[in-house]
């Protein structure tokens, strides 16, 4: 067990019968803390890798507040938002992580299909406005929820413009990278007065990034396997070099097979191209809802005669990402957990699935308030 797989908390503040007992308990506490094996609950942040990472402080916004969204549009709020419509599953998950679920009055469709709602905020399912999707946004339902803040994805930017013209503050978020995800967290925090929790969430990200960087810093190039990230619709599509998924692979000490391809969106490939890439490892993400695997399985990939000569297939190194939580191959608020899972998959000698499960459980308990089933990760 290492020093970042439990949530630390201090002992209860009890009255001691005498001064000697106080000294004994203080000594015991110091010994336990020195071993970083504190047990229990009540922390506001997951335990972290030993590093020089400093706690992040998100500056408190003052109101009236004029702020730019992630497309550069200026939006003004007179006071922190109290009634929020989030038309994007990533921003909705961020609101839950920031402790804003009680302020959500509308969300994107299919909340009953996404595990994170059932686990972290079941009270929202079917009880608040359904504002549709980015492609088919339900403006009428949004207005009926009487929001003072609407958060929309880039695909719905025209609706954001319409809402602002109607006098309803609407911001556009576009978390297409880890850095952009952090900026989105800060943006939502400033608009809602949840800066303190945002600082703790971002600090946890930085600690994980530091851990992964430290673990892979001395890897020789020959020890970096070629990793092929499948699209969740077909394994004949992969992540080119400028996609978030490609950056995940590189960050954990792997070589992204799709780096030979230009672009920042899923790209179709042929069997011949996969044979040329010859990946050592093939990763299959969850379906779009993260409530199960896609229409194809690892068994399908392994049984495809056209891939029989691929190293990953020969060695049985085809793996499904964990389902039942969130899509960890995308920049969701818990996306750093996908980085840890990938590290454990690509370099099990540097980090284990059990360690990943411990940290993920700590993370979800701290920021989402539920007890994660560790077997989702460990099998």
Query: Tens of pLDDT along 83-107?
Result: 999 999 999 999 999 999 999 999 9
Residue 54 lies in a domain: no
Q: Give the pLDDT confidence of 234-283 residue by residue, as tens digits.
A: 999 999 999 999 999 999 999 999 999 999 999 999 999 999 999 999 99
In degrees and rounded to multiples of 5, residue 39 shows phi and psi of -120, 160
Retrieve residue 158's tokens: 């025209």
Neighbours of 268 (CB within 10 A): 11
> How far does CA 161 lie from the centroid of its chain?
28
pLDDT at 125 over 60: yes
- 184 φ/ψ angles, rounded to the nearest 5 degrees: -65, -45
Q: Is residue 52 part of a domain?
A: no
pLDDT of residue 6: 38
* Interval 317-361: pLDDT, tens: 999 999 999 999 999 999 999 999 999 999 999 999 999 999 999
Of the chain, the percentage scoring pLDDT greater than 70 comes to 87
Mean pLDDT of the chain: 90
Count the Cβ atoms, other than its own, within 10 Å of residue 184.
24
244 with 372, same domain: the answer is yes
Angle made by CA atoms 352, 354, 357, in degrees to the nearest 5: 115
Residue 180 located in a structural domain: yes
> Based on the domain organization, do 365 and 284 belong to the same domain?
yes
Same domain, 228 and 363: yes
Nearest to 126, CA basis, from 148, 104, 147, 154? 104
Q: Read off the tokens for 87.
A: 């038309």
Total tally of structural domains belonging to the chain: 3
Q: Report the pLDDT value the prediction gives residue 3, as an integer from 0 to 100.
A: 42
pLDDT of residue 45: 59
Task: State how far the Cα of 264 lies from the Cα of 243, in Å rounded to an integer.
Answer: 4
Residue whose C-alpha is closest to residue 98's, from 374, 366, 373: 366
Token duo for residue 207: 């600690």
- For the segment 194-221, the average pLDDT, to the nearest whole number, is 97
Q: Which domain holds residue 273?
A: 216-378
Q: Tell whether 246 and 300 lie within a shared domain.
A: yes
- Same domain for 341 and 230: yes
Could you tell me the CATH number of the domain that includes residue 125? 3.40.50.1980
Distances (CA, A) of 74 to 70, 134, 154, 181, 212: 10, 21, 15, 19, 36
Among candidate residues 60, 43, 57, the one with its CA nearest the CA of residue 6: 43
If asked whether residues 128 and 248 sit together in one domain, one would say no
Helix (H) or strand (E) holding 375: helix 375-378
Report pLDDT for 47: 55
Beta strands in 144-252 (DSSP E): 149-153, 170-173, 226-229, 237-238
Could you tell me if 171 and 264 lie in one domain?
A: no
Judgement on whether residues 27 and 149 belong to the same structural domain of the protein: no
Indicate whether 205 belongs to any domain.
no
Distance from the first to the final alpha carbon of the chain: 19
Residues 123-138, mean pLDDT to the nearest whole number = 97
- Asked if residue 137 belongs to a domain, the reply is yes
- Taking 60 as the threshold, does the pLDDT of residue 23 lie above it? no
**For a pLDDT cut of 90, what percent of the chain falls above it?**
85
**Which structure tokens are listed for 82?**
């109290």
Measured CA to CA, the distance from residue 90 to residue 20 in angstroms comes to 53
pTM of the complete model: 0.86
**Strand-strand pairing, 267-268 and 318-320:** unpaired
């Amino acid at each position: 067990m290492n020093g970042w797989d439990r949530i630390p908390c201090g002992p209860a503040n009890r009255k001691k019968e005498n001064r000697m007992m106080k000294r004994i308990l203080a000594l015991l506490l110091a010994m336990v803390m020195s071993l970083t094996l504190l047990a229990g609950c009540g922390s506001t942040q997951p335990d972290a890798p030993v590093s020089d990472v400093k706690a992040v402080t998100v500056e408190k916004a003052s109101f009236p507040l004029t702020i730019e969204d992630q497309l550069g549009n200026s939006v003004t709020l007179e006071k922190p938002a109290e009634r929020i419509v989030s038309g994007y599953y990533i921003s909705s998950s961020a609101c839950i992580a920031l402790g804003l679920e009680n302020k959500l009055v509308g969300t994107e469709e299919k909340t009953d299909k996404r595990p994170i709602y059932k686990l972290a905020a079941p009270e929202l399912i079917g009880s608040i406005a359904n504002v549709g999707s980015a492609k088919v946004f339900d403006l009428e339902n949004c207005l009926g929820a009487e929001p003072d803040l609407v958060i929309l994805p880039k695909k719905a930017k025209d609706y954001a413009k319409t809402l602002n013209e109607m006098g309803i503050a609407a911001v556009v978020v576009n978390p297409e990278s880890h850095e952009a995800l952090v900026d989105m967290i800060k943006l939502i925090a400033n608009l809602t007065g949840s800066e303190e929790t945002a600082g703790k969430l971002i600090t946890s990200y930085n600690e994980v990034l530091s851990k992964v960087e430290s673990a892979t810093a001395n890897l020789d190039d020959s020890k970096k396997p070629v990793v092929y990230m499948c699209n969740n619709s077909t394994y004949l599509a992969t992540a080119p070099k400028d996609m978030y998924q490609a950056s995940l692979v590189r960050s954990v000490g792997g070589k992204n097979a799709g780096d030979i391809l230009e672009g920042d969106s899923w790209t179709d490939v042929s069997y011949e191209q996969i044979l040329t890439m010859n990946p050592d490892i093939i990763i299959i993400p969850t379906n779009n809802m993260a409530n199960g695997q896609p229409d194809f399985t690892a068994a399908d990939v392994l049984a495809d005669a056209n891939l029989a000569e691929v190293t990953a297939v020969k060695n049985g190194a085809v793996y499904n990402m964990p389902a039942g939580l969130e899509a960890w191959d995308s920049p969701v608020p818990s996306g750093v957990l996908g980085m840890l899972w990938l590290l454990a998959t690509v370099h099990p000698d540097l980090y284990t699935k059990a360690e990943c499960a411990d940290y993920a459980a700590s993370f979800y308990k701290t920021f989402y308030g539920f007890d994660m089933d560790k077997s989702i990760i460990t099998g």
